[in-house]
A and B are shown apart, each in its own frame.
Chain A
Amino acid sequence: MTDSPLVIRGLTKTFRPGGRTVRALDAVTFDLAPGVVTGLIGPDGAGKTTLMRITAGLLLPDAGAVEVLGLDVAVEPLEVQARIGYMPQRFGLYEDLTVGENLDLYADLQGVPATARVERYARLMEMTGLGAFMKRLAGRLSGGMKQKLGLACTLVRPPRLLLLDEPTVGVDPVSRRELWSIVYRLVEAEGMSVLLSTAYLDEAERCAQVVLLHQGRMVDQGPPRQFSEPLRGRTFSVQVEPEGRRALQARLSRLPGVLDAVLQGDGIRVVLEGQSDQRPSDAEMAGWRPVDPRFEDGFVALLSGERHRGELPRVHARSISGGEAIQVTDLTRRFGDFVAVKRLSFAVRSGEVFGLLGANGAGKTTTFRMLCGLLPVSSGHVRVAGVDLRHAAAEARGRIGYMSQKFSLYANLTVLQNLNFFARAYGLRGREAKARIQWALEAFELDAFAATESGTLPLGYKQRLAMAAALMHEPDILFLDEPTSGVDPLARREFWDRINALAEGGVTVLVTTHFMEEAEYCDRLAIMASGEILALGTPAEIKARAAGEDQPQPSMEEAFIALIQRRDPA
């Protein structure tokens, strides 16, 4: 026997949504290392949540066995549940109960004696910093605080094994950092074993061990360095002038021997193929600076077989008079007494990729919705494509494309029916409509799925379809609201390749995101907090503004955190 707190052998689980068979887990086998944080890493749909739920006794496996702390979960779920802590994706909080009442409930359910509570609560509150909010309703907490409360609730009785299902999803970088520090302290102080699932690859590097899942299968297991180390000597950074970045990145990524090329900071990060005979010429590589490999490089290398490089969509945007695609003056939005957006002014140039960044509640979604005409403005002016939204809204809408964070096409219509509808909704008819639909099916490789109900498509394809629908009428301006949340790194690369191609064709792109690395892809960006713009400029300018004595060369994430903290020193 092993001293591992979690032993998984040949775990297989199949679901049948709407007649299709989806193998969520396929013969997964591993032992969890005791006393450390193990990252369960994989893109959406890799099977992370299914594995977590089986381990917690919420699902029965089709085959294989799970042993938690020496107990078979399938046989003794109650016993297992009394010994582990599990935080589901949505934290499991009762939003209409206060912080204290949530803690009380879980303490009751976990059988924590009243005498032990005082001390335990004090410790949890100290750890999470929620002590001052005991009487506040959980629903009134910010995303980051909810997440910490969720964690505290699973910890009221110290478990020996802690399962955290995507605890950092949808949370801003500041809160993510705090959560990680709590988890580290738990492991150190209480000797807990932690299994934490995440879709953020940069978090893998914070784990002692990594289990990499992909499409239900375990790709590999080991310390994160084991994934990145084979790539040592194959990763480079290429410096380039800001204007040429995108063109160069597009060229490099198609170069033979190049496995991956992404925008990073002021330069381009390049990963080479393993075989040395395929290397780019020395002339090409002049000025390339070798850098340390990251976990993400290892991930891309491991799964490169599925990398997709299709034809990129070509769009020719009409030129917008005045050169400014979006012009915002004194934009204000009030909800009752609450001012969500305060006198915002900025302009987006034609053909620019402009990013809108901010923590949850910063007002970026409100701003975004006003710009695409989904929310009436309280005061101020918005000109989109040279048209005042208040007066010629329908005309302005004819020139914009919109893709929302959630998949928001008609899930029970087929791909073709969706495309048909949006083509007609944008006023295309006859041969023109037919041509555009054909273009969408080809450029986004949706041919094979034309008759599939769009709700059952894999996530990556849903995203392609959403983008195809938004581009149906060859818009001049494309609005993207957190377009890549939950999408795996490969699909994300593919997505940005398309965005870059559109920008090269003159389309203006306005994008909101909380992936800091994606902020680097923008020509310019605005960081928002409390309804105001904190900083506006190119990524390099913003990082320069955030630089201080302790951080002479901050990363985008560090810059973001520094700017926010400088504003609220608390």
Chain B
Amino acid sequence: MAALLSPRLLGLLRKESLQILRDPSSIAIAFVLPVLLLLLFGYGVSLDSKHVPVGIVVEQPSSEASSFLGAFQQSVYFEPRFYGTRQAGREGLRQRQVKGLLVLPADFAQRLKADRDAPIQVIVNGVDANSARLLEGYVQGVWSSWLQRELQARQIPVARPVEPETRIWFNAELASRNYLVPGLLVVNMTLVGALLTALVFAREWERGTLEALMVTPVTLGEILIGKLLPYFVLGMGGMVLSVLMALFLFEVPMRGSFWVLALCSTLFLLTALGMGLLISIVTRNQFVAGMIAILATFLPAFLLSGFLFDIGSMPAVVQVVTHIVAARYFVTILQSLFLAGDVWSLILPNAAALVLMASFFLGLSRRLLRKRLE
């Protein structure tokens, strides 16, 4: 605690804060970058397909076909596009005018009456497997609910042995934004934290100012805290801004408590800043530091944090790798905090992992920072 009161540390803190205030790039990284990224990602990244163009071929018009198509057109998921023949429909699918094709064969109405069963054909473009699967599910849903109504209306008995009663917890309407936005906060803070600090030591090395600092009686602890604290405040500012955007712009619910959010954000930011500091101290070169910061933070946080892709479904080796990605722990915490609440059995182990990583990065930074130029 004595170190906190030293006039040397106060001097360093004042210097660093003044530099931040005068250097538009720090402010830009802390505030403009998160806002831009969040807007871009928040609106750009969505897994909810709506108004998917779907081709429809009705080979023989009938009242049944019209009734079915009516149900189809009511759904927000589809944007029907009609083709005269099967061939035309298939060609439209091939040319990517539509994502899927629905064919009501000529004998649709006839077989529906006679056999109670009229096979209709659905073809989806399987290139984007995930979208294709969702599309398939939507079509299936519309079809079975229409068929059920149809059979009921005609008082035809149907045995339905087991009926699922599905309840989705935490995110009843399954809005992908609700789970993507907390993840985006993490990607954002990883970038901001690492970029803010990755350059600070490297910059002082390059400008020769660190040499002048080192020959004053300042201690290494003071230098480290003097660097960390102002950027921490800046990073937290960015975090607050992002959370506000998440709550009020993207309307993500917040079911956990804010103090837990603040505490976990502190831990994560310390980890991210510590990682940046370490990169900066090791490379001593703004260019290399920036390069590593981007490679070591953005892509892993994007792809290996579980923010977009399910970690449990990755091969075992890759799953092991995800454990050294700090973002992974924070993604887990944030998704639960926002959507589920204070789930201690989840928060505690993940927070512990963050504590471990933060101490590792900061401790190693302290060890590697020397008051010598070698």
Residues of A at the B interface (CB closer than 8 Å) are 53, 56-60, 77-78, 81-82, 84, 86-97, 101, 104-111, 137, 150, 153-154
Contact = CB atoms under 8 A, between A and B. Distances in A.
Given A58-B371, A58-B373, A93 B18 contact: no
Given A58-B371, A59-B374, A60-B372, A104 B208 contact: no
28 contacts: A56-B215, A58-B372, A59-B373, A59-B374, A60-B374, A81-B215, A86-B215, A89-B208, A90-B207, A91-B208, A91-B212, A92-B211, A92-B213, A94-B15, A94-B19, A94-B209, A96-B19, A101-B18, A104-B11, A108-B7, A108-B10, A108-B12, A109-B8, A109-B11, A109-B12, A110-B216, A111-B217, A137-B22
B215 A57 contact: yes
Contacts of A94: 15, 19, 209
A109 B208 contact: no
Contacts of A89: 208
A81 B372 CA distance: 12
Contacts of A59: 372-374
Contacts of B15: 94, 97, 101, 105
Given A94-B15, A101-B15, A104-B14, A110 B217 contact: yes
A208 B23 CA distance: 44
B233 interface: no
A58 B214 CA distance: 7
Closest 5 CB pairs of A and B: A92-B212, A108-B11, A90-B208, A109-B216, A82-B217
Given A86-B212, A89-B208, A111-B217, 12 more contacts: A53-B373, A57-B215, A58-B371, A58-B373, A60-B374, A81-B214, A82-B217, A87-B212, A97-B19, A105-B11, A108-B7, A109-B218
B8 A111 contact: yes
A97 to B, nearest CB: 6
Interface string B1-19: 0000001101110110011
A51 B218 CA distance: 22
A14 B354 CA distance: 42
B147 to A, nearest CB: 71
Interface of B: 7-8, 10-12, 14-15, 18-19, 22-23, 207-209, 211-219, 371-374
Contacts of B218: 109
Nearest to A110: B216
Given A59-B373, A104-B11, A108-B8, A93 B215 contact: no
Given A90-B207, A92-B209, A105-B15, A111 B7 contact: yes
Contacts of A81: 214-217
- For A59, A89, A94, A110, the residue with the greatest tally of chain B CB atoms inside 10 Å of its CB is A94
B216 A106 contact: yes
A249 to B, nearest CB: 39
A96 B15 CA distance: 10
- For A91, A92, A93, the residue with the greatest tally of chain B CB atoms inside 10 Å of its CB is A92
B185 to A, nearest CB: 30
Nearest to B217: A82
A391 B374 CA distance: 52
B212 A88 contact: yes
Contacts of B207: 90, 95
Contacts of B23: 96
A101 B10 CA distance: 13
Contacts of B372: 57-60
B212 A77 contact: no
Contacts of B22: 96-97, 137
Contacts of A109: 8, 11-12, 213, 216-218
B255 to A, nearest CB: 43
A88 B208 contact: yes
A112 to B, nearest CB: 9
B107 to A, nearest CB: 75
A57 B371 CA distance: 8
A281 B366 CA distance: 71
B238 to A, nearest CB: 21
A91 B372 CA distance: 18
A93 B213 contact: no
A166 B10 CA distance: 31
Contacts of B19: 94, 96-97
A482 B14 CA distance: 39
Contacts of A104: 11, 14
Contacts of B215: 56-58, 81, 84, 86, 88
A97 B214 contact: no
A104 B11 CA distance: 7
A445 to B, nearest CB: 34
Contacts of A90: 207-209, 211
Nearest to B219: A78
B120 to A, nearest CB: 67
